[in-house]
Structure 1
Amino acid sequence: MIFLLISSVIVLGEVKGIIGPISSRYFIDLINYAENINAEAAIITLDTPGGFDDAMRDIVQAELNANIPIVIYVYPSGARDASAGVFITLASHIAVMSPGTNIGAATPVAFGTGEKIDESLKKKMINDAAAYIKSIAEKRKRNTKWAVDAVLNASSITANDALKMNVIDLISNDIDELIEKIDGYEVELPGGKKILKTKDVMIEKRLMSFKDLFLTRISNPNIAYILMVIGIYGLIFEITHPGAIIPGVIGALCLIVSFFSFQTLPINYAGLALIILGVIMFILEVLTPTNGPLTIGGLISMFLGSLMLVKTDVSFLKISLPIIIGAVGTTAIFLIIALTLVVRSLKRKPETGKEGMIGLEGEAITDIHKDGTIYVRGEYWNAYSDEKIKKGENVVVLEVNGFKLKVKKKEE
């Protein structure tokens, strides 16, 4: 009996960022979980710039066929619901927005192949998206005219306008107010109509797992690019300093993770080739210093390759220009420091081997002319000189001939 009193539950989820394979799986798993426990409803807060068409359609299909009420809440204030997010919101049983949010700009964009889309194909994509969003709006009895306009003309409106135009059902300041407002709300489910009873209902939060949250974050093209740059640094350090191990391991891990992120993006292989060329130039510069040309060529190649790497018109899928400039600038500083150290080392007097002996000062242990012995750098050496040097006088090493040193008397 006690169980029955507390069995009414609302499942609460959150999606923030690009709609992709990870967020799609999370959406669907949450709806399935809510259905399995016979939840009163599933509320999902949404803040997205848009995302991938396949992921969006999977979510919409799950919403339209859900056996429990799905509430999409564009939250918090300042959040946006654009592109793919518009389809998801319109497909919900109850669409809610927070004050200070906006919805719209659902015009489809081409991405995934990295190739330019011709006008005829682009027109077909737009018409297909318009028909799809219209069918969703019709099923949920929302404003079909605006829905189509959001696709054809990228129309975007505020929360207040969305409520007036029958795009959404409610405006709410927070979750508690939302739950209070939907109490007694009637929705149409595949099995028939349902009246929501949300008064004193329990709320069960089911946020993304750490794994899914991590994968969602690294799917951001800017983060993927930063990981790629760190990976490049690690591999360059490992190649130029064999045996360091840790930089190489970190570099390899970062590159693998970045490649995972890039697999969902429209990668331009010409841009990738330029970045690889730049890396090769950097490695050659460190191994065989040219004092500038390879560094300059590598930086230009890396910068152009980074600009070209993701080929898309979608702003949220592009790599931020400040991040590219920061990465190339950091690389430039690193290489300038490395080249400065190399130049200094070339100018520095050798301290080991034969060259390291020349110029050292020592003391004549015996009289020296054709033969003799000196003490230099903590060692006794056979020595000879073109001049006569008396025992106890200071000498300077001129040459190293096998195991014998040519010396001269140190000038006072």
Structure 2
Amino acid sequence: MQRVFVRRGREIRGRRSRWHTLLGLLLPALLLVIGVLQLHAASRPAVFVMTIEGAIGPTTATYLDRVISTAEREKAAAVVIEIDTPGGLLNSTHDMVRRMMAAKVPLVVYISPSGARAGSAGTFITAAAHVAAMAPGTNIGAAHPIDGASGKTAGEKVTNDAAASIRTVAEKRGRNAEWYVLSVRESASITEDQAREKNVIDLIARDRNELLRLLHGRTVEGHKLITDGAPVREMPMDARERVLNRITDPNIAYILMMIAIYGIIAELQNPGLIFPGAAGITALLLALYSFAVLPINTVGVLLILLGVGLMIADIKVPSHGILTAAGAVAFGFGSFMLVRSPDPFLRVSLRLILATTVFTTLFFAFIVGAGLRAQRRRVATGIEGLLGEPVLAKTDLEPVGHVLAEGELWSAENVGEEPIRTGDQAVVVAVDGFVLKVRKET
């Protein structure tokens, strides 16, 4: 029996030894395979992904140029531009289209997520992509250009130019040029299924992973896309681009203009405070940058300045509130007219306008008014505070003597025509050093 146990023990130890040997051989091989796969994945060109949300402007064009240039330099597999925009400025759109048409890397515009749209400027950008894709529940179109000065649809000359431009781009990319022209001339808009059926786009993908799988193996201008399983590199806006993109929002530009007005006026009323003036000048420069980008109506700016001027005038030349009321009306109308565009994303919020108008009116009626009235108020302390105060003659003033003023005995000189005797009441009309100039009170 003991021999059986010994033999079985040797067999078990033998089997364990063989397993250990096998694992010792397999584990390094497995690690080697994993390392090779990781090295292979790391050596594959990456897919760059950038995101465009909100209105198209100069900062968006700069962002696009930076990402495409980086992708070209690093020989990326492709650049995916995930877009959700209601539109934007025509000049910035043309800059982006020109950069996309000259790109040396495959560009894929992906309208996503569900509920997103490529309106107006977004339609031009989609047309310029090598591959255009949409997520379910999205739409594209309504690309009729808008006149920034009047806020209405652009005239025939601008419309013809935009239509010719989008036709050229669509034909170059092999898409339905007639529909793209229709989106410019008649503001046509369609869903993703309609767009795919009409050859307006190339693909419909539920998400980014499915998009990369569908792109894999497609040929773009002689270049075969290798995207399935390729490393993805997110390319967000940098800090500078985020700041500049934010301040070109009409609401932010409007707030900056208000800060500039408040800060500069506060500094003028209280010289030497420094901070209000510095903040006002900084806000003014940022507001001017925003105004250079947005379709600003000069009349609106002038009405806002007129409104502020009338409010200040009411403080200096009291009109029982008439000038303040007129200033509030001018300020409100100017705010409504500041950015002229039929698109809500290019207009100042109604709530912000109402709140700012009320605050500005109260600001000038009470805060600034109180400060100006305090500056005009007669000095009530020190020697200057004695001006206009009644005094009691303690001696005859012939013409010099002594008077009692605010419980103190002062030297005084009679500068009036009537004599002042002991016990007479007099009024201080001037102060010369520590001598009060008085005349008899009538």
Instruction: Calculate the TM-score normalised by the size of structure 2.
Output: 0.74
The 5 A counterparts of 1:197-216 are 197-216=226-245
What secondary structure does 1:71 align onto? strand
Residue 85 of structure 1 aligns with which residue? 122
Query: What corresponds to 2:192 in structure 1?
Result: 159
Q: Look up the match of 2:5.
A: none
- Identity in percent: 38
| Counterpart contact for 1:289–1:339, Cα < 8 Å | no
1:289 Cα shift? 4.9
Partner residue, 2:138: 101
Q: 1:325 to 1:102 in 2, by over 3 A?
A: same
SS in 2 for 1:338: helix
Q: 1:349 to 1:159 in 2, by over 3 A?
A: same
Following superposition, the deviation at residue 180 of structure 1 comes to 2.8
Alpha-carbon offset, residue 348 of structure 1: 9.7
CA distance in 1, matches of 2:70, 2:287: 31
**Per-residue Cα deviation, 1:207-250 (whole angstroms, up to 9, x for no partner):** 11111111111112221111011110111111122222111110
Larger radius of gyration: 2
Aligned to 1:217: 246
- Which residue of structure 2 aligns with residue 148 of structure 1? 181
SS at match of 1:279: helix
| Residue 127 of structure 1: aligned partner | 160
Query: Take 2:184 and 2:168, find their aligned partners in 1: how far apart are those partners?
Result: 13
- The answer as to whether partners of 2:297 and 2:338 remain within 8 angstroms in 1 is yes
* Structure 1: runs of 5+ lacking an equivalent: 361-367, 389-396, 407-412
Length-normalised TM-score, structure 1: 0.79
Aligned to 1:279: 308
1:337 & 1:256 partners in 2: Cα distance?
28
1:76 aligns with 2:113: yes
Q: Secondary structure at the match of 2:293?
A: coil
The count of aligned residue pairs is 386
Per-residue deviation, 1:305: 2.3
More off after superposition, 278-287 vs 233-242: 278-287
Please report how far the alpha carbon of residue 37 of structure 1 lies from its aligned counterpart in structure 2 after TM superposition.
Answer: 1.1
Query: Matched residue of 2:110: which SS?
Result: strand
For the aligned residues, what is the CA RMSD? 3.7
- Other structure's SS at 1:200 match: coil
Distance in 2, matches of 1:12 and 1:398, equals: 87
3-state secondary structure, aligned to 1:96: strand
Higher relative contact order (CA 8 A, sep 6+): 1
Task: Note closer, same or farther for the CA distance 1:79–1:398 as it changes in structure 2 (3 Å cut).
Answer: farther
Q: 1:266 to 1:348 in 2, by over 3 A?
A: closer
Q: What is the distance in 2 between the residues matched to 1:346 and 1:254?
A: 27
Q: How does 1:11-410 map to 2 (within 5 A)?
A: 11-111=48-148, 114=149, 122-184=155-217, 186-189=218-221, 192=222, 194-287=223-316, 289-338=318-367, 341=370, 351-353=380-382
CA contact (8 A) 1:221 1:318 kept: yes
Letter in 2 for 1:6: A
On the 8 A contact 2:111/2:135 being kept in 1, the answer is yes
Q: Secondary structure at the match of 2:228?
A: coil
Would the aligned equivalents of 1:382 and 1:405 in 2 still touch at CA under 8 Å? Answer: no
- The aligned amino acid for 2:124 is F
Distance 1:56 1:345 in 2: 54
Where do 5+ consecutive residues of structure 2 fail to align?
A: 1-35, 413-419
| Greater Cα offset, 203-212 or 347-356 | 347-356
Once residues 124 and 218 of structure 1 are traced to their aligned partners in structure 2, the CA distance between those partners, rounded to angstroms, is 31
Quote the offset at 1:142 in angstroms: 2.4
**Residues 97 and 168, structure 1, Cα contact 8 Å, conserved in 2:** yes
Q: In the alignment, which residue of structure 1 is the partner of 2:4?
A: none
CA contact (8 A) 1:74 1:96 kept: yes
Q: Contact 2:295–2:340 (CA<8 Å) still a contact in 1? A: yes
Q: Aligned equivalents of 1:195 and 1:209: distance in 2?
A: 30
Distance 2:194 2:325 in 1: 53
Structure 2 counterpart SS, 1:263 = helix
Letter in 1 for 2:354: I
Q: 1:90 & 1:215 partners in 2: Cα distance?
A: 26
- The question of whether the paired residues in 1 share the 8 Å contact of 2:52 and 2:81 is answered with yes
Instruction: In structure 1, give the amino acid aligned to 2:208.
Output: I
Asked if the contact 2:315–2:365 (Cα under 8 Å) also holds between the matched residues in 1, the reply is no
Distance in structure 1 (CA, Å) of the matches to 2:55 and 2:138: 17
Q: 1:382 to 1:273 in 2, by over 3 A?
A: same
